[in-house]
Amino acid sequence: MIRTKILGLGSYVPDRVVKNEEIAFLNDQHVRQETQQSETTDEWIQRRTGITERRYVPNESGLATSDLALQASKRALLDANLEPQDIDCIILGTLSPDLHFPGTAVFLQDKLGIASRGCACFDIRQQCSGFVYGLQMADAFIRTGMYKRILLVGAELHSHSLDFTTRGRDVMILFGDGAGAMVLGPMESDDPKSGVMYTSAHADGSGAMSLYLKIFDIAKLPYLQYDPRNREENQPMYPYMDGKRVFLNAVRGMVMSTNTALEKTGLTWDDINWFVPHQANLRINEKVAEVAKIPPEKILNSIQFYGNTTAATVPLTIDHWRQQGKVKRGDRILSSVFGSGFTWGATIFTL
């Protein structure tokens, strides 16, 4: 039986470290202009999110999301001992694409130097759930023999689209820039517990407007109906979040998908080496762990170092702890995610 194997893993974050004190300072500059009193502090951010720092691309760097994806992809290919020419499909998850269209995967393909090969390119627009959605797609492609070597990437560049005013404070403290990548391929195995064991993907569109970035309204003419320079009009340029509703649904969705993954595979926590939740907020992950009764020593978080890198959080977290010597080849990982939409899902695989 053909199963999907993880051949390589890689990640990339920009060099610029942005600590909570800098975030508080940036917010304070806007608050002073608004003649209000700033309440944003390092302690306040850590208490609400668990984040101490995140990475931003350098100002005026000219870097795009596909550039971050490129660096993570190169590292994953090196880990797999493969060349870009060996890839016959690229799947890229992002909510911060280089352009509205075409998709960011084609820019990555070109930067890898394989545009002339004509390999398939897909963009996954499922926000924080994008990597698990992409893994489900890649697993299906490989099991059916449609593609042999798939590059799966989650990449985000958030720092250029954050609202540092009081209006955007609850959102702008969360996000960072980064990318993670996996190279996937086929293997012959009759062992149902080898390779990618399980994936699930779900959605509930009734929650779509609880976490969104509007920018434009295609139902209107003109579809851009505000002056981006006017703070009284430009809220559509920045993310909006109903934090309480997102929190409750994230916990519910991640607990459900985690428990279902174990039930469907017949595994218990004794069979799992690591649980890697989506890195949206440490408070969410702690609640998921409590409700799902996940052994605390098996939980891996990286939000304290990188913030929320949305589609990149799962591979970035795994690779971070692999570089620290904690995660090793052969480890079995359960990952559960939740994103705007609402979307959610889970996967179990052996690294």
Per-residue confidence at 237, pLDDT binned at 50, 70, 90? confident
Q: Which helix (H) or strand (E) holds 131?
A: helix 130-143
Q: What is the pTM of this model?
A: 0.95
Does 169 have pLDDT greater than 90? no
DSSP state of 146: S
**Minimum mean pLDDT range among 40-44, 116-120, 227-231:** 227-231
Average pLDDT of 203-225?
A: 92
Enzyme catalytic residues: 128, 278, 308
Chain segment 26-48, per-residue pLDDT in tens: 776 665 555 455 578 999 999 99
Residues sharing a CB contact under 8 Å with residue 211, sequence separation 6 or more, in sequence order: 127, 239, 240, 241, 242, 246, 339, 340, 342
Q: How far is CA 44 from CA 25, 51, 52, 170, 228, in A?
A: 13, 10, 10, 11, 30
Closest CA to 334 of 268, 237, 280: 268
Contact yes or no for 316/324 (Cβ under 8 A): no
Tell me what pLDDT residue 36 has: 57
Tell me what pLDDT residue 156 has: 98
Average pLDDT of 234-252?
A: 93
Closest CA to 336 of 302, 289, 270, 268: 289
Q: Residue written as tokens 């959102």?
A: 171
| Per-residue tokens: 144 | 């059916």
Tell me what pLDDT residue 91 has: 99
Please give the share of the chain, as a percent, with pLDDT higher than 90.
Answer: 82
Task: Give CA–CA dist 187/197, Å, rounded.
Answer: 13
Average pLDDT of 304-322?
A: 99
Average pLDDT of 4-23?
A: 97
Q: Which helix (H) or strand (E) holds 33?
A: helix 20-33
2-188 and 196-211+240-350 share one CATH topology? yes
Q: Which residue has the higher pLDDT, 109 or 236?
A: 109
The CATH number given to 196-211+240-350 is 3.40.47.10
Tell me what pLDDT residue 29 has: 66
Tell me what pLDDT residue 228 has: 80
Tell me what pLDDT residue 338 has: 98
Chain segment 63-101, per-residue pLDDT in tens: 999 999 999 999 999 999 999 999 999 999 999 999 999
Average pLDDT of 291-305?
A: 98
Tell me what pLDDT residue 34 has: 53
Per-residue confidence at 108, pLDDT binned at 50, 70, 90? very high
CA 132-201-91 angle, to 5 degrees, is 40
Phi, psi of 350 (to 5 degrees): -100, 125
Tell me what pLDDT residue 52 has: 98
Q: Does domain 2-188 have CATH number 3.40.47.10?
A: yes
Chain segment 126-168, per-residue pLDDT in tens: 999 999 999 999 999 999 999 999 999 999 999 999 988 878 8
Contact yes or no for 199/344 (Cβ under 8 A): no
Please give the share of the chain, as a percent, with pLDDT higher than 70.
Answer: 97
Chain segment 279-288, per-residue pLDDT in tens: 999 999 999 9
CA 150-254-49 angle, to 5 degrees, is 100
Tell me what pLDDT residue 234 has: 85
Domain boundaries, the chain: 2-188, 196-211+240-350
Tell me what pLDDT residue 315 has: 99
Beta strand 120-124 with 89-93: parallel, antiparallel or unpaired? parallel
Tell me what pLDDT residue 37 has: 55
What is the sign of the dihedral through the CA atoms of 206, 209, 211 and 214?
positive
**Minimum mean pLDDT range among 23-37, 120-134, 181-195, 300-314:** 23-37
Average pLDDT of 249-266?
A: 98
Closest CA to 156 of 70, 94, 76, 99: 94
Mapping DSSP to helix (H, G, I), strand (E, B) and coil, where does residue 275 land?
Answer: strand
Residues sharing a CB contact under 8 Å with residue 185, sequence separation 6 or more, in sequence order: 4, 5, 7, 80, 142, 148, 149, 150
Task: Give CA–CA dist 272/313, Å, rounded.
Answer: 19
Task: Give CA–CA dist 15/63, Å, rounded.
Answer: 13
Q: Residue written as tokens 């080849």?
A: 329
